[in-house]
């Protein structure tokens, strides 16, 4: 780490055991992200007049090149946080997940979801068995009534917008998994 670890306490005294636990978790973060710039940990106990068990609030702030990760656990979320070590574990686990996400983005390993093709229905067979779609990219695709995922084939109209998966069929390009889009059709 380029900057020294900063640990602060509010409404409680630190201890060597707590410090050792935090240092071990930060070392794990450093192995995960060798380019770690700094880490700040804030531990807060409720005010002394709190009548029920103490529920600790822990905030972990991690700085990476060009990124900052902040993970905290709100005391109201978990009564398990009456144990300081559980609160620390949960906050550091959340920080580690966020650091892993940042590292994946930095390496370009974020999974890209394919955007489904879309277009408009250009023709419907008179017998109600099939239709054609004019894709936004200019392709003309055949689709069978069984390719319709949502809605009723009989409710489709020429001009309706649809999303679909394009594939090569026996008769040329065809659409499968056809989803009507619009105010009268649910979006899947």
Supply the pLDDT for residue 92. Answer: 94
Helix %, strand %, coil % of the chain (to 5): 25, 35, 35
Supply the pLDDT for residue 50. Answer: 47
Instruction: Report the mean per-residue pLDDT for the chain.
Output: 84
Domain ranges for the chain: 6-107, 117-181
In which band, very low, low, confident or very high, does the pLDDT at 149 lie, cut at 50, 70 and 90? confident
Gap between the Cα atoms of 133 and 171, Å rounded: 14
Among 32-36, 88-92, 111-115, 180-184, whose mean pLDDT is lowest?
Answer: 111-115
46 CB contacts (<8 Å, ≥6 apart)?
11, 54, 55, 75
In which band, very low, low, confident or very high, does the pLDDT at 72 lie, cut at 50, 70 and 90? confident
pTM comes to 0.55
CATH class label, 117-181: mainly beta
Highest mean pLDDT among 35-44, 98-107, 147-156, 177-186: 35-44
Is the pLDDT score of 53 beyond 70? no
Q: Which CATH number is 6-107 given? A: 3.30.160.100
105-140 pLDDT, tens digit each = 888 765 666 667 899 999 999 998 999 999 988 999
Q: 46: number of CA atoms within 13 Å, CB side? A: 15
Supply the pLDDT for residue 185. Answer: 45
Supply the pLDDT for residue 38. Answer: 93
Is the pLDDT score of 180 beyond 80? yes
Q: How far is CA 58 from the centre of its chain?
A: 23
**What letter would DSSP give residue 5?**
-
Query: Does this chain's domain 6-107 share its CATH topology with 117-181?
Result: no
| % the chain with pLDDT above 90 | 43
Gap between the Cα atoms of 175 and 88, Å rounded: 52
- 84-107 and 16-32 helices, crossing angle to 10°: 20
């Amino acid at each position: 780490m380029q900057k020294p670890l900063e640990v602060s306490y509010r409404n409680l005294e630190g201890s060597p055991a707590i410090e050792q636990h935090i240092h071990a978790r930060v070392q794990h973060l450093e192995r995960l992200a060798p380019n770690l710039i700094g880490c700040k940990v804030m531990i807060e106990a409720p005010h002394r007049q709190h009548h029920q068990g103490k529920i600790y609030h822990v905030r972990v702030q991690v700085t990476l090149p060009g990124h900052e990760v902040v993970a905290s656990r709100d005391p109201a979320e978990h009564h398990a946080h009456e144990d300081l070590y559980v609160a620390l574990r949960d906050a550091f686990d959340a920080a580690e997940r966020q650091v892993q996400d940042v590292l994946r983005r930095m390496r370009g390993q974020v999974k890209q979801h394919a955007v489904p093709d879309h277009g408009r229905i250009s023709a419907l067979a008179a017998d109600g068995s099939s239709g054609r779609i004019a894709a936004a990219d200019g392709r003309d695709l055949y689709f069978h009534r069984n390719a319709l995922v949502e809605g009723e084939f009989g409710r489709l109209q020429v001009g309706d917008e649809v999303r679909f998966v394009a594939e090569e069929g026996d008769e040329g390009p065809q659409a499968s998994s056809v989803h009507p889009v619009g105010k009268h059709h649910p979006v899947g």
